[in-house]
Amino acid sequence: MKALDYSLTRLITALATGDKAVIENCPEVRFSRETLEPELGRPARFGGAILPSGFRPQASGLSGNLNSSGNYAEQTTVADQIAQAVRAQSHVLALGAQLVPGGVGKIQFPVAESGTQTHWIAEAFGIDPATTDPVFSARTVFPHSMVTSCQYSRQLLTQARADLDLYVIADLGRAIAAEVDRVAILGSGMQEPLGLLNTAAVPVVALGTNGANPVADNLAQMEETVGLANLTPTGWLTTPSIRRRLRKTTSISSVYASEPLWSDDAGGAVMAYPARTSTNVPSTLTKGTSTNCHAIIHGDWTQLIVTTWNHEILVDPFQNKKQGMITTTVYTELDLVVLRPAGFVFCVDALA
């Protein structure tokens, strides 16, 4: 089924009818039954439908009761587009993290901890060179379930003048991307995936007893740390306030002493590596007497794997039927794993 033909609002409306004939004749339901469910190896639960991987959980509510909850989209003079909600910037995948969709059950990613070694031999008979075999380990991921519910009014679905499909699809993507970034950075590992800042064995560069303003040498030390692990950094991620600080902090080289550490090259760069900011990066960490420390993350982001299993939608037209509201719930299953913790380094006591 072509992406341009897929209508999320048509799917929600069909599932909300509760009419088996209407549901099974809906193109999106047929796509779920004939294509997505066989690929997943199981039917959609509770009479819902499997969503294509491009559709993500809805985070905010829409209804036809109030303008702020959806009535703006019902006016006859409404524009063709709906302005998206403002969310934390999402950069983890853009910096190089690998997305692995279509997971089934638990997944193990083999990691070669060490490889075969070479040896020199003397010109003497009967002396065999040492033999060294590769050593492997594995990183295991399993589904963590994210549930997001949203309510649409029947009136909104039938009377919306703006392209509600475009809004919903875009909002789904932005919502899941923001949450993936949050857990990738600071996930607790309890019910949700474990994030970078809570991953053991990731090196840490400390700035001071009570934190300190980052300077060029600190960032150079972070770059060196990743290099000593024989990996190549792909970028930086920090807070908007640290970006402000680095714009006022000069380069380590006397030749470029007037140049700030944070440049505008390629949308933002530090020491020639892409640099991005997000409010998902913590800015209220504690170090000594300071409680306003910011995190700076640097590393080879290809060492971070984001695995997704499935995205499933369930529509309930009965929960608030007297109010004319349809409850839509999207289930998303994903996990994160760092293949090589030494491929990252972070600072958790930077002051802005």
How many structural domains are present in the chain? 2
Q: Is 98 within 8 Å of 300 (Cβ atoms)?
A: no
Q: What letter would DSSP give residue 155?
A: H
Q: Are 298 and 209 contained in the same domain?
A: yes
Asked whether 311 and 53 are in contact (CB, 8 A), the reply is yes
Structural domain includes residue 114 = no
Q: Which of 319, 296, 315, 339 is nearest to 51 (CA)?
A: 315
My answer on whether 236 and 258 are in the same domain is yes
Structural domain containing residue 56: 3-75+141-188+309-338
pLDDT at 160: 58
Residues 229 and 284 in one domain: yes
Tokens describing residue 217: 């040498």
Let me know if residue 95 belongs to a domain: no
In the predicted structure, residue 74 carries a pLDDT above the cut 50:
no
Q: How far apart are CA 343 and CA 341, in angstroms?
A: 5
Same domain, 183 and 315: yes
The answer as to whether 102 is a domain residue is no
- Whether 83 maps to a domain, the answer reads no
Question: What is the per-residue pLDDT across 211-220, written as a single tens digit (0 to 9) for each?
Answer: 999 999 999 9
pLDDT value of residue 85: 58
Residue 156 lies in a domain: yes
Q: Which range (7-11, 158-162, 233-237, 295-299) has the least confidence? A: 158-162
pLDDT bucket at 277, cuts 50 / 70 / 90: very high
- Give the Cα separation of 302 and 286 in Å (integer): 29
Q: Are 116 and 291 in contact (CB under 8 A)?
A: no
Q: Are residues 289 and 213 in the same domain?
A: yes
The DSSP code sequence of 54-116 is: T-----S---SSSGGGTGGGGSTT--SS-PPPP-----TTTTTPEEE----SSEEEEEEEE-P
- Considering the domain architecture, whether residues 161 and 299 belong to the same structural domain is answered as no
| Whole-number pLDDT of residue 18 | 84
State mean pLDDT over 266-281. 93
Residue 63 included in any domain: yes
pTM over 0.85: no
Residue 330 lies in a domain: yes
Cβ atoms within 10 Å of 45's Cβ, excluding its own: 11
* pLDDT at residue 19 greater than cutoff 90: no
Are residues 232 and 288 both part of a single domain? yes
Band (pLDDT 50/70/90 cuts) for residue 57 is: very low
Pair 49, 14 in one domain: yes
304-320/325-338 β-pairing: antiparallel
**Residue 41 maps to a domain:** yes
Residues 159 and 207 grouped into a single domain = no
**CATH code of the domain containing 267:** 3.30.2320.10
Residues in Cβ contact with 128 at an 8 Å cutoff, skipping those fewer than 6 apart = none
Nearest to 91 by CA among 335, 274, 283, 247: 274
pLDDT at residue 131, rounded to an integer: 75
Indicate if 179 and 32 belong to the same structural domain.
yes
Q: Examine the domain organization and report whether 279 and 180 are in the same domain.
A: no
The pLDDT, as a whole number, for residue 115 is 74
Same domain (yes/no): 165, 293: no
Q: Which amino acid, residue 317?
A: P
